[in-house]
Amino acid sequence: MGQLRPSHYVEAGLWLLAAAVLFGLTFKFNQNIEIYKFGASAWPRGLIFLMVIAAFGQLYWQYRYGDAGAEAGGPDANIESEGASENSGLQWYAHTALLIALPFIYMRIPDLFGLPLDAQGPIKLVTGAVVVAAFAWFSRTNMVGGMLGLPLLFAAFLEDFGFYAMAPCFMVSVMWLMGERRFKPMLAIAALLFAILMVLFVKVLYVGLPTGNVEPFYSFGNWIVKVLQ
């Protein structure tokens, strides 16, 4: 017990700071809607509440077991967790900062080319692929930084590539960063969660989720909506 290090506090603090910022943003669209009696901000605030619980839960787990919990993913996870357990030093903080900065880099690079919106698709595809490759490389030995940067990367990709394509990738990535290495269970869980979300948001709540604006993700998102509706 008592195995907390400064990096653990930094991780929990960043999650709580993100939750506070997101909660503040919910007041901008906090209004009543006819099809959902709890209002437009209810389910985002529910997710934020779960984020806060997860932050404290992770901190408590690290207090009890340190980084030993990373070994739960099995023998293959032990290899990856060796580097991830060294959550200290200038290099670790630099990699964490880079993983958090990559989503913002992605959002800025297409604008630097000065192209019209209808011509940015190929640039965004190439830039997105490079950013994903860099994110995967640096998060191999920095799972904490990966977990902090992944929601930001997911949010940065939403407008261009859509929720319908990005959500399953996000779910699989979260499981991988948490130490899971069995791809069949990962894909099965992601498919089940994605199906539940689609039924809830598209069929029950009629919430318009981002379809993206870059092909072929835009067509895929529209196809999912047509199938469900």
Band of the pLDDT at 70, cuts 50, 70, 90? Answer: very low
The CA distance from 208 to 79, in Å, is 42
pLDDT confidence of residue 2: 57
Q: Tens of pLDDT along 147-171?
A: 888 888 888 888 888 888 888 888 8
Distance in Å from the first CA to the final CA of the chain:
52
Task: Answer whether 142's CB lies under 8 Å from 99's CB.
Answer: yes
Residue 179 backbone zone (phi > 0: left; psi -120 to 50: alpha; other: beta): left
Band of the pLDDT at 77, cuts 50, 70, 90? Answer: very low
Average pLDDT score, the chain: 76
Tokens of 34: 């006819």
Q: Tens of pLDDT along 84-128?
A: 445 556 777 888 888 888 888 888 876 776 666 565 677 888 888
Q: Where are the domains of the chain?
A: 1-66, 86-228
The CA distance from 61 to 72, in Å, is 13
Task: Answer whether 152's CB lies under 8 Å from 135's CB.
Answer: no
What is the CB neighbour count within 10 angstroms for residue 215?
A: 11
pLDDT confidence of residue 133: 92
**Considering Cα of 90, then 92, then 96, then 98, what sign does the dihedral take?**
positive
- Helix, strand, coil percentages (3-state) for the chain, rounded to 5, are 75, 0, 20
